Structure 1
């Protein structure tokens, strides 16, 4: 009997010292799914309990790294079940090794496509939802361990500080991938069992549970500057994580109950501008959408409908505005362009009178885009109308001398007589309507700006007349030549190349070369109609100017 017991102890020692080598083939056997793997699971579980923890972890993490790209979700959800108890057996080395484990797992999860629609999330073909759910289960015991220690003692040991750091890093990495790419919607997801929504909620809750106050992460961090020691350890990824954190908090209202209500809306907007800038600076649709939504919610929090000028003068506001304008003008996705325009307009409405005046002048000098400039000119007209209805002192920015200063900066043609009127059609038409409105309004008033206003109008109309003459002559001759060529050469061109007649012109910065003659004819005719509309407005303004005599 004694010999038998000795033999058993010997076998157990062998298994404990060499059993970790069996993990790899056992995992592969389970992943094959060719037959019932209950026994394999049981063996793996037993080995995880008795073999050397460091060796086991090394083997399991190598299996994570070598995951089959086609079966990432199945592999890591299986391995997480066994990595967790191994980590629980560790002592002081747990924080460092847990960091390695979470890095390896997150790296694999990041390779999985993020579902774009709610239906794709429900189907979970690639398993991202399963992996997110498994990750939450994986970290839960370690979160509870930190919370338990915090409850016992207000002074954290070095070990628990390191554990908090590891969990903090995991949460911030998860915010960037996959949550920054995820399509989240409070109304859709809160009432349904959405793995990604649950993941986002738990990540936010975990940050608070490990004593990471949300204001410290979001509001104070951007203001710390280079003197903060944590900045040295930071990188662009963590800034992006904070941007996602701000989005989840202020747009989706996840964990908003954990955020103190003592911060002013203007202060929150100021801090969020850094994150909005990060999101709008990317070309990815999910990022841009989150940036626009965060901008809207931050602006809506500014309840007094005014924004101190000193905030407008911060460099970050100019950078964000340029990103917003770029989306409005260059983004190939229409609904993003439309939404960017809405946000741009909302931002201008939140400025006070002085800030609006300065902002309009700045944009008109720097935008170089007719569509954006037409929006600004429309806003100027609206502000002039509003200032007429108010007797306040601030609205003087759109009256009298200050209004004349604004008009001299805005009622101009960028290239003088050589300005492409068709390209700048939006700006020219709105500017003419603004000028006509102001002349009609001021001609029977004694505001003291009538003479100067007429001088500005005469100078503008004089140059515009030259542009119209040149443009109408050019486009008219091109249309006439096109008609003549169409009659004389259409048969020759068809026989020679089988292609439709083409001409070479530039309209709105796009060459007409390669465009069928019918399309060219439409463009030319539309251009001439536009010039006729401009000319009719010019004639009306000239009539008003003649009345002053």
Structure 2
């Protein structure tokens, strides 16, 4: 086969470059490919290195890039044949048309299998870089196309998550990412020099492509990476290094601060993401959110961040990013959203945010997003953390802000446990206000009445599902008990005594009726189950139960009876607190008239 290639070369040696025909290209490629496949690599190298064949190689050699790369991947690192193939590749890069070579390299990256993706990328990057640097025209476009193609293919690889996965890097993603930063460094240097010298178009185009690369890298793999996995005594986190490199590129091309701090206000509007060109809105939102996380949580680039910005402004800028992260389902992304919000809040003093901040984008919806994580997220550590951050968020607002947040969350949470938590917060704020010499207008007096109306009521009157709403009901009763004990009728600082008739009508009486109805229903269910159990003469009868419209795992009759008895116990608990509240009200209302009579 080497003889066939030699014959083709000898024929073409006597022709001028413009005399080469399509058939000559096909025969050269076919013969060269067979040389590689059949092991005539040394012979092929001799033909490629022969100075007489320089014009032929220059015109036709790019056709061998694909077969050559596939051949290199088959050999081991120390094989002589692999070394010969690399020399051939080096010669092709030196002689062939850069435009044709770029397309050939990218074609190989697109066509390679997932199993060989990282090997192919790592093999191609260095020669591809050399080819791109040789381009005089359309360098920015070719570089952008190359980076886009590589990142698109790498996105097929899973992001290593655990310590073991990071250390093994089985798919080679970490190696590829760190090699990519070496790949773009010369182009970053060109942009930096171009910005210092002038504002030519080539410099701007290269800068735009580098910006695209950075934002795409932030979306994948950095958005999905867990930067907290590796302990300090293990290897360095390779993706942390990649994140640091990406921030370094953004800093060098003067795009770091503009992408972190918007050039306009944040008041109830979405970022325009100007300058992101063809990058779609969703991708840019994810990328910028990840960028903020890397800066404010991982502390990359904070040395270059202006200290003049107030912590409240930093929070304001990041709320839209937090919202983007908390809307995702992946554990690593949700964790980034919680960490970013926590980092921003910890910079603030308690009670430092005014009510007006709730008019800014995200400030009123973020607490609702936290509630969704608390109640729906399948990852327990994130549920617990979101509860902790919700309290931290509440603490940062002044009285008016807290008051508005409480009303909003009571209306929107639709979760008994969350509502109970908010009611406990309301109780704490009332307690602080009663103990304060000045008191709060929001948590005492007439303004408190509308909040009490929301708390001291049943969502659906006597028809309310008391079992499903038991947490909220218990919290409401405890709040009412506290108000009756702490606020005397003569003082009436909380207006609870003014509103007592309404409270009895909207809360206490319907609760009595609901308890009687619920108890009767569950006692009848227990009686029915027991009768069925006696009829079947076994406690292993399988039953199906639905809760909140969802079918629960099958239970035996004995298990179902335990559930029903547990419900009755909950009703007993509610009833005991209800009775205590009514006793306190009766005692207080009896004392007051007697005192009044004595005065007369």
Query: Is TM more than 0.5 here?
Result: yes
CA separation of 1:160 and 1:501: change in aligned 2, threshold 3 A: closer
Q: Does 1:141 align with 2:141?
A: no
Between Structure 1 and Structure 2, the one with more helix by share is: 1
Question: 8 Å contact 1:422–1:508 — kept in the other structure?
Answer: no
- What's the secondary structure of 1:452's corresponding residue? coil
Q: Does 1:526 align with 2:569?
A: no
Q: Give the Cα separation in 1 of the matches to 2:165 and 2:544.
A: 48
Aligned match of 1:89? 134
Q: Give the Cα separation in 2 of the matches to 1:227 and 1:426.
A: 43
CA separation of 1:105 and 1:231: change in aligned 2, threshold 3 A: closer
Q: Give the Cα separation in 1 of the matches to 2:234 and 2:317.
A: 31
- What's the secondary structure of 1:535's corresponding residue? helix
Deviates more, 1:156-165 or 1:314-323: 314-323
Q: Does 1:245 align with 2:291?
A: yes
Aligned match of 1:410? 455
Q: Does 1:19 align with 2:61?
A: yes
User: Cα offset for 1:199?
Assistant: 0.3
Among 489, 506, 511, the residue aligned to 1:464: 511
CA separation of 1:398 and 1:303: change in aligned 2, threshold 3 A: same
Question: 8 Å contact 1:404–1:452 — kept in the other structure?
Answer: no
Deviates more, 1:424-433 or 1:231-240: 231-240
CA separation of 1:221 and 1:172: change in aligned 2, threshold 3 A: farther
CA separation of 1:484 and 1:513: change in aligned 2, threshold 3 A: farther
Question: 8 Å contact 2:262–2:271 — kept in the other structure?
Answer: no
User: Cα offset for 1:136?
Assistant: 1.1
User: Cα offset for 1:32?
Assistant: 0.7
Aligned match of 1:175? 218
State the Cα deviation string for residues 492-518 of structure 1 (Å, max 9, x = none).
Answer: xx9xxxx614266x5555456842212
User: Cα offset for 1:377?
Assistant: 0.3
Q: Give the Cα separation in 2 of the matches to 1:232 and 1:321.
A: 32
Deviates more, 1:78-87 or 1:398-407: 398-407
State the Cα deviation string for residues 397-434 of structure 1 (Å, max 9, x = none).
Answer: 11122222210121111111011111011101111111
Aligned match of 1:474? 521
User: Cα offset for 1:484?
Assistant: 2.2
- What's the secondary structure of 2:116's corresponding residue? helix
CA RMSD of aligned residues (A): 2.3
Aligned match of 1:254? 300
Q: Give the Cα separation in 1 of the matches to 2:121 and 2:51.
A: 33
Among 397, 405, 409, the residue aligned to 1:359: 405
Q: Give the Cα separation in 2 of the matches to 1:19 and 1:48.
A: 9
Deviates more, 1:187-196 or 1:38-47: 187-196
Deviates more, 1:220-229 or 1:115-124: 220-229
Aligned match of 1:119? 164
CA separation of 1:512 and 1:163: change in aligned 2, threshold 3 A: closer
Question: 8 Å contact 1:265–1:303 — kept in the other structure?
Answer: no
Q: Does 1:157 align with 2:200?
A: yes
State the Cα deviation string for residues 84-128 of structure 1 (Å, max 9, x = none).
Answer: 000010113211111111111111111111011122101111111
Unaligned runs of 5+ in 2: 1-12, 15-49, 591-600
- What's the secondary structure of 1:282's corresponding residue? coil
Among 334, 355, 361, the residue aligned to 2:380: 334
CA separation of 1:114 and 1:103: change in aligned 2, threshold 3 A: same
Aligned match of 2:330? 284
Question: 8 Å contact 1:102–1:170 — kept in the other structure?
Answer: yes
Question: 8 Å contact 1:501–1:516 — kept in the other structure?
Answer: yes
How do residues 486-525 of structure 1 correspond to structure 2 at under 5 angstroms?
Answer: 486-491=533-538, 500-502=541-543, 507-511=547-551, 514-525=554-565
- What's the secondary structure of 1:254's corresponding residue? coil
- What's the secondary structure of 1:69's corresponding residue? coil
Among 386, 389, 393, the residue aligned to 2:432: 386
Q: Does 1:377 align with 2:423?
A: yes
**Number of paired residues?**
534
- What's the secondary structure of 1:76's corresponding residue? helix
User: Cα offset for 1:229?
Assistant: 5.4
Q: Does 1:447 align with 2:447?
A: no
Unaligned runs of 5+ in 1: 1-5
Q: Give the Cα separation in 2 of the matches to 1:148 and 1:380.
A: 59
Q: Give the Cα separation in 1 of the matches to 2:174 and 2:552.
A: 50
Question: 8 Å contact 1:370–1:426 — kept in the other structure?
Answer: yes
Aligned match of 2:143? 98
TM-score by length of 2: 0.84
User: Cα offset for 1:305?
Assistant: 3.4
How do residues 316-331 of structure 1 correspond to structure 2 at under 5 angstroms?
Answer: 316-331=362-377
Q: Give the Cα separation in 2 of the matches to 1:147 and 1:390.
A: 60
Among 416, 421, 424, the residue aligned to 2:469: 424
Q: Give the Cα separation in 2 of the matches to 1:52 and 1:471.
A: 84
State the Cα deviation string for residues 466-505 of structure 1 (Å, max 9, x = none).
Answer: 01101111111211221222122235xx9xxxx614266x
CA separation of 1:469 and 1:503: change in aligned 2, threshold 3 A: farther
User: Cα offset for 1:58?
Assistant: 1.3
Aligned match of 2:597? none
User: Cα offset for 1:313?
Assistant: 2.8
TM-score by length of 1: 0.92
Aligned match of 2:112? 67
CA separation of 1:65 and 1:189: change in aligned 2, threshold 3 A: farther
Q: Does 1:130 align with 2:175?
A: yes
Deviates more, 1:359-368 or 1:173-182: 359-368
Aligned match of 2:87? 42
User: Cα offset for 1:444?
Assistant: 6.3
Q: Give the Cα separation in 1 of the matches to 2:467 and 2:254.
A: 60
Question: 8 Å contact 2:259–2:288 — kept in the other structure?
Answer: no
Question: 8 Å contact 1:77–1:131 — kept in the other structure?
Answer: yes
Question: 8 Å contact 1:422–1:507 — kept in the other structure?
Answer: no
User: Cα offset for 1:321?
Assistant: 2.6
User: Cα offset for 1:274?
Assistant: 0.8
User: Cα offset for 1:458?
Assistant: 2.0
Question: 8 Å contact 2:371–2:418 — kept in the other structure?
Answer: yes
User: Cα offset for 1:39?
Assistant: 1.1
Question: 8 Å contact 2:368–2:409 — kept in the other structure?
Answer: no
CA separation of 1:514 and 1:476: change in aligned 2, threshold 3 A: same
